[in-house]
């Protein structure tokens, strides 16, 4: 078998640093002058469970929408009404619970891609998430995820252990693969944890890996203790969000806050991943209030807090939201919606051409529906993800990010 | 003679002849094995540059989950060849203590149907009620405590896997069950698979772990867990009438057909085309699950089956073969030279090296072909090879997270209840059990497992284990230092290195550890409420978290 690319990158990095006499992050910081400011960062947020794109970004000018959803439709824009959709462009409106995102839309930093999704027709959460994360719809045995391939496409010998971080206890499918990625539940815990005498254990392990290991174990050991030191220097335990940003309580908000911490600590973050759940609204979905509204409120408050907290740093950040598929146009007998096809995805950031809904709207009259029931996909998610990867992260268009799909700018939706 | 006959029938591929194949088991015994019964097996070990103790350690680390205190001496006493012979026939090894322990895990003996009935998914409407505030979380927990939920099934499977790896005498069998489960991976997180996993491992994988490869392929192909995981259960002939409203199965699903060739038999470059994928999928139409919502078993549904003629890898499968079409496919695939090579490569990678020596792969593939895919015979070819006992094979593999955790608990003479804390540690180090999402299973090379977060968690696991912070799992460090002068750090270290690593350490490592011991901070007063010098725990953790212990 060939030596993997990763081992090569590692060994060349060590060679570059003269067997690493100097901690790598110091070298990088010294050469970059301003830490990792200027480095492009992608934050990928997965709404697991299939969010109802038609409630998130409401086609309020479509009479069919109201006909199909007698009890769960979001009323069209109405001045002074807290229950009504917030108009965006005379055709679409934001769910009222997404109001925290309105300033971002108005500042043209938030773009929406509607009727976006997978060319694969599965309505299985599992398969659809799997395909969206591997980036190969219909193909199960792809071993790595698209975000990992995005890392691999731009080998960075001076990259830190924090190039790719997923919030949570396990690495998501999207980040699995050859390029090293971290799963962290709580960044304050990223350290050697001994019941007593932590200092000794840490020193001991560090010396063991420095002197007693070879090759991969030695290089990774070194990288590990550098990473621990970097985080310690950033002092995550005493973090205060900037500009009075308030993250929503719960795992999703905690995840976003920690991503902001990592960005501001300049630890070399390039790709962050977090997931939120509770979108599988088969029954009692609610309309302007209720189950889905609560989930959307948390989602919007999280994004708004992140934007406020990061401030100027948002110039280098793109937040991309995704969900495995959308939901049926017609509400079901339990005042909910079932598994559908296309949904809406959001792109947020300083370099985003915001204030616009992208993608061709396929319409939702009966004849226009996919398989007679769902919103049709008019933007293949790979073109949207590809646009972000190429234009924002700088992944070469020639990279095999999505095997079988050419990353041609002409196919990109145009959000960046 | 029997082999010649098989080849002839393979060439003609008549349905009747194929039906007769499954009963044929005749094959010449592989080299190194003189007969198929344990009593008569003769293992001849090759010349090796390794010392006798190293050979024993090597076997305990590669064919099992590492030595427990006393294991090396035990194998030395009975002879390494005898130990290997014994491991090749696990059913003859008494394992009562583990069997007794597993009795507490009541889900292990239940059928999928029983598991579905006893541990149903909480009604989604209850979740809605929580969302609307009609029901509190506490009330929900009372109605559906974790021990009554499907999560219990996965929890007990993980416990059983840990208990067996750590305490079973049938070490090779456990390694092989892990190997084949991973080879024919299914994922607990996909829909109904969670209720089918117990039966999958127990009924489809374990009975054939050291048997015939074809039996494994057939058993997994028919098992509801695989039928569900790779969607074959809903694959129907392309002109199958769909139910009103667009519901129900919609034509051919190629997932299983593709992975059967790419991952289970031929390998990705094994010489099949997209056309073959479609043809194999056609052969498997109608192989489905009887009452999938009630945990039913395999059933063949003739109306869903495409009964036309198919051509798979150049072999004609005549029209009208019904259920036998797919069995013919399995025969064609299992007897394809790419399969012999692919399976040989994976086995050699597991037991010998990340980069499998080509000459050994060729010999193992040859054994596969000669013995009609006899797994035990392939293992004998591997463990009697010079490559297996070569100097640069010794301690060259990095332990997978599960191997690390099991071997660490074994090394410290520990016992476990298979508690969730251990399974959690395995997950944090990167290998959540029964939770590999893609059908590829977990990789078996160092690069996949050595990364920053995982390494940190390996060290933290070692600290947690030796300090007794892993509930349900008890280390026994006292045995190593009993009788030694507790105030003499060097004596303690020598005992621990001998006990935990059999002195297989570099001088640098010993040096570093000794320095740690003479550090004024670690030489603080020993607290009197503990019977064990806390330094012993810390040093043991450093040893188990050391680079040396990550290798097998």
CATH number of A17's domain = 3.40.720
Q: How far apart are CA B20 and CA A416, in angstroms?
A: 64
Q: How far is B113 from chain A (nearest CA, A)?
A: 22
DSSP 3-state of B153? helix
User: A98-156: per-residue pLDDT in tens?
Assistant: 999 999 999 999 999 999 999 999 988 888 999 999 999 999 889 899 999 999 999 98
Judge: B550–A217 Cβ closer than 8 Å, yes or no.
Answer: yes
**What local confidence, expressed as pLDDT, does residue B431 receive?**
94
Q: How far is A170 from chain B (nearest CA, A)?
A: 7
| pLDDT, one tens digit for every residue, chain B (552 residues) | 344 333 333 333 333 333 333 333 334 444 444 445 555 567 899 999 999 999 999 999 999 999 999 999 999 999 999 999 999 999 999 999 999 999 999 999 999 999 999 999 877 677 777 767 788 888 888 888 888 899 999 999 999 999 999 999 999 999 999 999 999 999 998 889 999 999 999 999 999 999 999 999 999 999 999 999 999 999 999 999 877 665 677 789 899 999 999 999 999 889 999 999 999 999 999 999 999 889 999 999 999 999 999 999 999 999 999 999 999 999 999 999 999 999 999 999 999 999 999 999 999 999 999 999 999 999 999 999 999 999 999 999 999 999 999 999 999 999 999 989 999 999 999 999 999 988 999 999 998 898 888 999 999 999 999 999 999 998 999 999 888 887 777 888 999 999 999 999 989 899 998 888 766 555 444 444 445 566 788 889 999 999 999 999
Residues of B in contact with A200 (CB under 8 A): 516, 519, 521-522, 538
Say if B150 falls within a structural domain: no
Q: Which residues contact A71 (CB under 8 A, 6 or more apart)?
A: A287, A331, A335
The domain total for chain B is 1
Q: Which residues from B are below 8 Å from A171, CB to CB?
A: 430
Q: Which pTM does this prediction carry?
A: 0.84
For residue A25, the distance in angstroms to the closest alpha carbon of chain B comes to 15
Q: Is the pLDDT of residue A92 over 90?
A: yes
Q: How far is B294 from chain A (nearest CA, A)?
A: 19
Chain A residues in contact with B342 by the CB 8 A cut-off are: none
How confident is the model over A41-65, as a mean pLDDT?
A: 97
Asked, for residue A334, whether it belongs to a domain, the answer is: yes
Chain A hits for B541, CB-CB cut-off 8 Å, are 194, 201
Count of the separate structural domains present in chain A:
1
Chain A residue with minimal CA distance to B540? A201
Please state, in angstroms and rounded to a whole number, the distance separating the CA atoms of residues A130 and B231.
14
Structure tokens at B389: 């006992």
User: Does residue B496 fall inside a structural domain?
Assistant: yes
Task: Give the residue-averaged pLDDT of A278-302.
Answer: 93
- On the question of pLDDT at A88 being above 90, the answer is yes
Residue A329 CA: distances (Å) to CA of A365, A372, B475: 10, 10, 58
Name the residue among B534, B439, B518 with its Cα closest to residue B486: B534
φ, ψ for residue A120, nearest 5 deg:
-80, 145
Question: In this structure, is residue A227 part of a structural domain?
Answer: no
| pLDDT at residue A217 is higher than 50 | yes
Three-class DSSP category at A62: coil
**Residue B371 three-state SS:** coil
What is the Cα–Cα distance from A337 to A285, expressed in whole angstroms? 7
Q: Is B259 contained in some domain? A: no
CA nearest A166 in B: which residue? B453
Select the residue of B131, B246, B255 nearest A371 (Cβ to Cβ).
B246
- Chain A residues inside the 8 Å CB shell of B398: 216-217
Residue B266: its chain A contacts at CB < 8 A?
Answer: none
A186 close contact with B: CB closer than 8 A: no
Q: Which of A83-92, A288-297, A309-318, B7-16 has the lowest mean pLDDT?
A: B7-16
Span A149-173, pLDDT tens digits? 999 999 988 888 899 999 988 889 9
Judged by a CB distance cut-off of 8 A, whether residue A333 touches chain B is no
**CA–CA gap between residue B167 and residue B75 (Å, rounded):** 16
Q: What's residue B18's pLDDT?
A: 35
DSSP letters of B433-498? TT---STT----SHHHH--HHHHHHHHHHHHHHHTT-STTEE---HHHHTTS-TT-HHHHHHHHHH
Q: How far is CA B223 from CA B110, B205, B291, in A?
A: 15, 10, 13
Cβ pair A140:B259 closer than 8 A = yes
Q: What pLDDT was estimated at residue B534?
A: 61
A369 touches chain B (CB under 8 A): no
On chain B, the residues whose CB falls within 8 A of the CB of A275 are none
Yes or no, beta carbons of A130 and B542 under 8 Å apart: no
DSSP string, B81-139: HHHHHHHH-GGGS--HHHHHHHTT-GGGG--HHHHHHHSPPPPHHHHHHHHTTSS-HHH
Residues of chain A with C-beta less than 8 angstroms from the C-beta of B507: none
Determine, yes or no, domain membership for B549. yes
Domain that holds residue B485: 479-552
Are A290 and A245 in contact by the 8 Å Cβ rule? The answer is no
Taking an 8 Å cut-off on Cβ atoms, the answer to whether B438 and A141 are in contact is: yes
Q: Which domain holds residue A95?
A: 5-188+244-411
Nearest to B538 among A169, A173, A200 (CB): A200
Torsion (CA) A176, A179, A183, A187 in degrees, nearest 10: -170
User: What residue has token string 């043209």?
Assistant: A108
Give yes or no for A303 touching B (CB within 8 A).
no
Buried b (16+ CB within 10 A) or exposed e, B31-43: ebbeeeeeeebeb
Contacts of A211 in chain B (CB under 8 A): 508-509, 511-512
- Containing A203, the helix (H) or strand (E) segment is helix A198-211
- Shortest distance between the Cα of B205 and any Cα of chain A, in A, equals 21
Going from the C-alpha of B13 to that of each of A155, B8, B9, B276, B317, the distances in angstroms are 51, 8, 6, 17, 8
Residues A114 and A88: beta-carbon distance below 8 Å:
no
The answer to whether position B484 is within a domain reads yes
Tokens of A67: 């006909």
Residues facing residue B289 across a β-bridge? B298
- The structure tokens 């911490």 sit at A261
Q: Which residues of B touch A4 (CB under 8 A)?
A: 445, 447
Nearest chain B Cα to A173, which residue?
A: B437
End-to-end CA distance of chain A: 40
> Chain A interface, mutation test: which of B122, B124, B125, B128, most A Cβ atoms within 10 Å?
B128
DSSP A390: I
B13 assigned to some structural domain: no
CA torsion A389-A391-A397-A401 (nearest 10°) is 10
Our CA-based measurement puts residue B47 at a distance from the nearest CA of chain A, in whole angstroms, of 27
A406–chain B Cβ distance below 8 A for any pair: no
Q: What is the largest CA-CA distance in chain A?
A: 72
- What tokens appear for A408 in the block? 């041609």
Reported ipTM: the value is: 0.85
Mutate to test the interface with A, among B447, B454, B468, B475 (most CBs of A within 10 A): B447
**What is the structure's pLDDT at B20?**
34
Nearest of B453, B217, B166, B260 to residue A221 by alpha carbon: B453
In this structure, is residue B355 part of a structural domain? no
Choose the mutation target among A122, A142, A169, A197 for the interface with B, i.e. most B CBs under 10 Å: A197
- Does the residue A265 lie in any domain? yes
* Residue A219 covered by a domain: no
For residue A99, the SS3 value is helix
Residue B45 included in any domain: no
Residues of chain A neighbouring B435 (CB-CB closer than 8 A): 170
Answer yes or no: do A200 and B131 touch at CB < 8 A.
no
Rounded to 10 degrees, the C-alpha dihedral A115/A120/A124/A125 comes to -60
């Amino acid at each position: 078998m060939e030596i993997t690319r990763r081992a090569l990158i590692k060994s060349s990095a060590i060679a570059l640093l003269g067997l690493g006499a100097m901690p790598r992050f110091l070298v990088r910081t010294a050469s970059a002058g301003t830490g990792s400011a200027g480095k492009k960062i992608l934050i990928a947020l997965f709404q697991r469970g299939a969010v109802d794109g038609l409630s998130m970004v409401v086609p309020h000018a479509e009479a069919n929408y109201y006909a199909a959803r007698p009890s769960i439709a979001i009323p069209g824009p109405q001045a002074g009404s807290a229950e009504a959709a917030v108009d965006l462009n005379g055709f679409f409106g934001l769910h009222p619970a997404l109001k925290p995102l309105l300033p971002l839309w108005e500042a043209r930093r938030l773009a929406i891609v509607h009727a976006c999704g997978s060319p694969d027709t599965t309505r299985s959460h599992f398969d659809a998430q799997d395909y969206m994360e591997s980036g190969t719809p219909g193909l199960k045995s792809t071993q790595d995820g698209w975000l990992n391939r995005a890392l691999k496409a731009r080998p960075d010998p001076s990259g830190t252990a924090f190039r790719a971080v997923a919030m949570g206890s396990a690495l998501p499918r999207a980040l699995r693969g050859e390029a090293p990625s971290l799963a962290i539940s709580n960044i304050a815990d990223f350290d050697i944890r001994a019941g007593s005498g932590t200092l000794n254990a840490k020193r001991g392990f560090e010396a063991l890996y420095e002197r007693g290991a070879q090759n991969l174990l030695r290089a990774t050991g070194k990288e590990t203790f550098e990473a621990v030191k970097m985080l310690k220097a950033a002092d995550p335990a005493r973090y205060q969000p900037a500009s009075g940003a308030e993250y929503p309580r719960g795992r999703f908000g905690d995840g976003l806050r920690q991503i902001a911490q990592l960005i501001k600590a300049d630890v070399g973050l390039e790709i962050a991943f977090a997931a939120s759940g509770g979108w599988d609204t088969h029954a009692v979905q609610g309309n302007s209030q209720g189950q889905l509204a609560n989930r959307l409120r948390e989602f919007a408050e999280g994004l708004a807090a992140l934007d406020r907290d990061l401030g100027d740093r948002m110039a280098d950040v793109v937040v991309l939201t995704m969900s495995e598929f959308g939901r049926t146009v017609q509400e079901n007998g339990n005042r909910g919606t079932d598994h559908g096809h296309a949904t809406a995805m959001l792109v947020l950031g300083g370099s985003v051409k915001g204030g616009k809904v992208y993608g061709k709207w396929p319409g939702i009259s009966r004849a226009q529906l996919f398989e007679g029931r769902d919103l049709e996909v008019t933007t293949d998610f790979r073109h949207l993800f590809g646009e972000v990867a190429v234009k924002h992260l700088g992944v070469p268009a020639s990279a095999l990010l999505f095997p079988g799909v050419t990353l041609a700018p002409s196919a990109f939706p145009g959000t960046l | 003679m029997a082999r010649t006959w098989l080849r002839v029938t393979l060439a003609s591929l008549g349905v009747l002849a194929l039906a007769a194949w499954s009963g044929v088991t005749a094959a010449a015994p592989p080299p190194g094995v003189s007969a198929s019964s344990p009593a008569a097996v003769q293992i001849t070990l090759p010349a090796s540059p390794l010392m006798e103790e190293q050979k024993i350690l090597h076997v305990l680390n590669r064919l099992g989950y590492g030595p427990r205190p006393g294991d090396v001496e035990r194998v030395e006493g009975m002879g390494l060849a005898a130990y290997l012979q014994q491991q090749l026939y696990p059913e003859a090894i008494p394992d009562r203590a583990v069997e007794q322990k597993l009795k507490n895990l009541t889900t292990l003996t239940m059928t999928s149907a029983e598991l579905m009935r006893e541990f149903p998914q909480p009604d989604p409407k209850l979740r809605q009620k929580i969302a609307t505030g009609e029901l509190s979380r506490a009330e929900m927990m009372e109605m559906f405590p974790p021990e009554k939920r499907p999560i219990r099934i996965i929890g007990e499977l993980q416990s059983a896997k840990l208990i067996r790896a750590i305490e079973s005498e049938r070490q090779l069998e456990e390694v092989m069950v892990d190997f084949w489960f991973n080879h024919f991976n299914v994922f607990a997180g996909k829909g109904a698979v969670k209720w089918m996993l117990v039966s999958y491992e127990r009924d489809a994988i374990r009975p054939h772990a050291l048997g015939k490869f074809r039996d494994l392929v057939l058993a997994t192909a028919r098992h509801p867990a695989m039928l569900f995981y790779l969607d074959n259960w809903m694959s129907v002939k392309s002109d199958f009438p769909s139910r009103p409203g667009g519901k129900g199965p919609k034509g051919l699903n190629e997932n299983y057909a593709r992975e059967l060739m790419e991952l289970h038999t031929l390998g990705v470059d094994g010489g099949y085309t997209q056309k073959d994928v479609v043809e194999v999928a056609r052969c498997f139409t109608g192989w489905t699950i009887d009452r999938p919502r009630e945990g039913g078993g395999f059933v063949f549904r003739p109306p869903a089956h495409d009964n036309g003629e198919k051509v798979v890898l150049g072999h004609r499968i005549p029209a009208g073969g019904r259920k036998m079409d797919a069995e013919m496919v399995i025969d064609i695939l299992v007897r394809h030279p790419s399969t012999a090579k692919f399976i040989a490569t994976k086995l050699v990678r597991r037991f010998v090296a990340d980069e499998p020596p080509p000459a050994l792969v060729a010999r193992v593939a040859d054994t596969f072909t000669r013995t009609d895919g006899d797994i035990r015979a392939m293992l004998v070819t591997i463990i009697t090879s010079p490559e297996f006992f070569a100097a640069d094979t010794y301690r060259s593999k990095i332990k997978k997270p599960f191997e690390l955790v099991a071997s660490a608990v074994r090394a410290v003479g520990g016992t476990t209840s298979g508690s969730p804390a251990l399974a959690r540690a395995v997950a944090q180090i990167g290998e959540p059990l029964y939770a590999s999402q893609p059908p590829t299973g977990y990789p078996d090379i160092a690069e996949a497992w050595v990364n920053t977060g995982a390494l940190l968690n390996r060290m933290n696991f070692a600290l947690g284990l030796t300090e007794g912070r892993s509930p349900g799992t008890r280390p026994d460090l006292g045995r190593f230092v009993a009788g030694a002068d507790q105030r003499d750090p060097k004596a303690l270290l020598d005992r621990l290195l001998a006990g935990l690593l059999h002195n297989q350490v570099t001088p640098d490592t010993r040096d570093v550890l000794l320095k740690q011991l003479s550090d004024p901070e670690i030489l603080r007063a020993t607290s009197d409420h503990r019977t064990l010098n806390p330094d012993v725990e810390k040093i043991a953790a450093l040893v188990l978290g050391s680079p040396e212990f990550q290798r097998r």
